[in-house]
Structure 1
Amino acid sequence: MSQKVFVTGVGMIPFAKPGASAPYHEMGALAARAALDDAGIPYDSVEQAYVGYVYGDSTCGQKALYGVGMTGIPIVNVNNNCSTGSTALYLARQAVQSGAADCVLVLGFEQMSPGALASVFNDRPAPFDDFDAVTERLVGRADIPLALRYFGGAGLAHMEKYGTPLNAFARIRAKASRHAVNNPLALFRKAVTEQDVLDAPEIWPGVMTRLMACPPTCGAAAAVLVSESFARKHNLRADVHIAAQAMTTDRPSTFDADDMMRLVGYDMSKEAANKVYAQAGLGPEDLDVVELHDCFAHNELITYEALGLCPEGGADKFISEGDNTYGGQVVTNPSGGLLSKGHPLGATGLAQCFELTHQLRGSAGARQVEGARVALQHNLGLGGACVVTMYRV
């Protein structure tokens, strides 16, 4: 990456339960304006926009941004499942880095419905048919919603391979809640204990309780990316930049390895992280703070190992010794993560960007990671795509 790309503005609105939020276009416009205000520039300065969402008709991005301004700029709508927001960020970063644009707005939002994720188009082959076939062969449990089967099956595979106890996942969820107490934008801000998590209603006996899964959520977040020359010309803040970024998709091992951890993106995550470390000339030992894709506590545990935060099979020890929180090796999900902050699919990648930008600015308030200078973002979507981004000051 020869030309630095700066995150000069970020914006986010409080996440809410389905039915308790404004419509998607209003949420999107609010987040976009917040990012522009944070950057200190008008919408007229934006040359391109990339807008991510999963559940919505075509050109929802235009509907949201027309409420901010109608300047005739290219608006690209992005859908890449749960990695939608960071995929939009990836495209925007490429546009600025390549010189195609000097100022790009990235927006993500989601207006979700209550309950588990479900397919919308049932009159054609589903992109998850191959995932379902592997899951049926390895774990069965067709009585459980698909996402819970995938990630619960991955957690079960880790338990069986490494002897990981159920309370390791409970400790992750309790940690997320403690972090979210200090995040005014998080959906759930009440601290829960490890025992509270274990005592919650079981979704999959011995594998998952309800509190180990993230909730359906509505919300929006945005970022403004600019080139170094644009920042200098307009006297914009240029402290946080994207030091490295990689996007990966599935390889044959996703389906051929007969491994539920690989089915849910372990190999994608590991490959993307390794590419980022190589680009930046840094390793996991250099990280101060990480926002990773904890759609389930099980995926957070698996991702520790995929990102190299601990050795394979070492996640339980990593958690037990408090190396995933304040005072430990690296603070993971200081925002509360998807488990407590919420997971509006299209907004998640930009909400992670929002959190890490404030962490590196030193403006994260009570959840500030002291002396944070290197941050890593991991955003995963099954089907599949994984985006890993490193930020530095």
Structure 2
Amino acid sequence: MDDVVIAGVGMHEFGRFNDKSYRDLGSVAAKRALKDANMTIKDVQAAFCANVYEVSASGHNVLERLGLPGIPIVNVENACASGASAVRLAYQAIKSGEYDIVLAVGFEKSPRGFLHGAGYDQWQESTGLGANPLYFATSIHGHMVEYGTTKEQLAHIVYKSHKYAVHNPYAMYRKELSVEEILNARMVSDPLTLYMLCAPNDGGAAAVICNKKTAEKFTQNYVTIAASVLETRRRGDMFVPAVSAPAQTSYPTLAERAAQSAFKMAGIGPKDIDVAEIQDVDAGSEIIYSERLGFCPIGEGGPRAQLGETSIGGRIPINVSGGILSRGEPVGASSLGQIAEITRQLRGAAGNNQVEGAKVALSHSEGAGGNSCVTILKK
């Protein structure tokens, strides 16, 4: 069966846009992706539209801006993994042979403040335990106790993020920060200071997904989807957003299971990845997931990042677009934005943030409730 490829990607800038609706954000991203693929909406045979906080049938409303061509439209919600879940559905639709060209689009106007409504019980909401920063902080605090991870290492993750975001026109925060500024910022949930947490915001991202034979009629600038995996939590998993399972277990965590499935599907291993975009809704998550995805041994994520192994020129550049910490997180669009970023890396189109010679890239997203998506692309 023919390879499944990404023929075009597009993003609406991430930030706060009080004068724009979710329809504006999604339609701009979709139009840019179609233009990038040298296609129009008339070429698309189905669409999968990711969103979390908007109205029902929001994907239909977005595509109305493109002419609403009467194609099947499916609205997708999987928390922070929604966009990547839409890509997986598009991948499966192409792989099955049902369609030749499918559009995946994600969009969001995130509510201000901490995100709620992620499956917490009422008693958690009522007692203040229903805000994600608390669980992110708990996860990395346990990591610090167990492995000696330091606040300085957390600050380095943020420093790296902002250093690269300066060159990313789609990022919300494009200003460098010193380690001292990061450490001395207002404490939100110990040990996480203000800059160690991402900001929910507005944005859109899209990808045109095709079989290879069809893509070549429009463009040669495509990348191949080597793996597209969604894993959800099992009975017995204790859902904690940044870890998705207890720290001490005899079985793999959710992110580990997703990565193992993706590597098996792609026929490669972690050492074959040249660049990665992974879930960094807080600085601690980047450290924890860099370990869970197999990029370094458990407990070594912080020291290795501080030594530059996850920077450009290092062993495995991670989130060198600025990541979610600097791009911000429009929830329905975020993981599709990650996929757009690694697509540009494989095309050699990441500008000052380009990882030289990148041929294999990985995107990882983790959604509330226990959803983990891993996508692997090859040049």
TM-score of the two chains, using structure 1 as the length reference: 0.91
What's the CA shift string for 1:22-75, capped at 9, x where partnerless? 100011111110000000011111000000010011101000001101211001
**1:260 Cα offset (Å):** 7.5
What's the CA shift string for 1:97-133, capped at 9, x where partnerless? 11111100000000122211123xxxxxx72239x87
Q: C-alpha distance in 2, partners of 1:204/1:181?
A: 26
- Matched with 1:115 is 113
Among 216, 226, 231, the residue aligned to 2:215? 231
What's the CA shift string for 1:173-202, capped at 9, x where partnerless? 111001101101110000112211111000
Q: C-alpha distance in 1, partners of 2:150/2:220?
A: 46
**1:295 Cα offset (Å):** 0.6
- Matched with 2:71 is 73
Structure 2 spans left out of the alignment, 5+ residues: none
Q: C-alpha distance in 1, partners of 2:358/2:234?
A: 34
Q: C-alpha distance in 1, partners of 2:320/2:330?
A: 18
Alignment of 1:74-153 (within 5 A): 74-119=72-117, 127-129=119-121, 142-143=127-128, 146-153=131-138
Does residue 329 (structure 1) correspond to residue 315 (structure 2)? The answer is yes
Among 188, 193, 200, the residue aligned to 1:216? 200
Aligned length: 375
What's the CA shift string for 1:261-317, capped at 9, x where partnerless? 344998111111111111222111111100011011111110011110100111122
Q: C-alpha distance in 1, partners of 2:130/2:119?
A: 16
Q: C-alpha distance in 1, partners of 2:242/2:79?
A: 19
- Matched with 2:288 is 302
Q: Is the 8 A contact 2:244 2:370 kept in 1?
A: no
Alignment of 1:274-285 (within 5 A): 274-285=260-271
What's the CA shift string for 1:202-221, capped at 9, x where partnerless? 0123x111111000210001
Q: Is the 8 A contact 1:150 1:264 kept in 2?
A: no
Q: What residue identity is the alignment partner of 1:96?
A: I
Alignment of 1:150-299 (within 5 A): 150-205=135-190, 207-232=191-216, 234-237=217-220, 239-255=222-238, 261-263=243-245, 267-299=253-285
Q: Secondary structure at the match of 1:76?
A: strand
Q: Is the 8 A contact 2:363 2:374 kept in 1?
A: yes
**1:237 Cα offset (Å):** 2.4
Judged with a 3 Å threshold, the aligned counterparts in structure 2 of structure 1 residues 264 and 115 are, in CA distance, closer, same or farther, namely farther
Alignment of 1:47-62 (within 5 A): 47-62=45-60
Q: Is the 8 A contact 2:9 2:37 kept in 1?
A: yes
Q: Is the 8 A contact 1:5 1:97 kept in 2?
A: yes
Q: C-alpha distance in 1, partners of 2:350/2:19?
A: 24
- Matched with 1:32 is 30
- Matched with 1:42 is 40
Q: What residue identity is the alignment partner of 1:28?
A: G
Q: C-alpha distance in 2, partners of 1:261/1:221?
A: 26
Q: Is the 8 A contact 2:238 2:246 kept in 1?
A: no
Identity, % of aligned pairs? 38
Q: C-alpha distance in 2, partners of 1:253/1:341?
A: 34
- Matched with 2:8 is 9
Structure 1 spans left out of the alignment, 5+ residues: 120-125
What's the CA shift string for 1:337-368, capped at 9, x where partnerless? 11001110000111111111111001111111
Q: C-alpha distance in 2, partners of 1:253/1:148?
A: 23
Q: Is the 8 A contact 2:198 2:325 kept in 1?
A: yes
Alignment of 1:312-351 (within 5 A): 312-351=298-337
**1:21 Cα offset (Å):** 5.2
Root-mean-square deviation over aligned CA pairs: 2.2
**1:243 Cα offset (Å):** 0.7
Judged with a 3 Å threshold, the aligned counterparts in structure 2 of structure 1 residues 261 and 231 are, in CA distance, closer, same or farther, namely closer
Q: C-alpha distance in 1, partners of 2:130/2:283?
A: 16
**1:238 Cα offset (Å):** 5.3
Q: C-alpha distance in 1, partners of 2:282/2:237?
A: 19
TM-score of the two chains, using structure 2 as the length reference: 0.94
Q: Is the 8 A contact 2:78 2:85 kept in 1?
A: yes
Q: What residue identity is the alignment partner of 1:224?
A: V
Among 17, 20, 30, the residue aligned to 2:18? 20
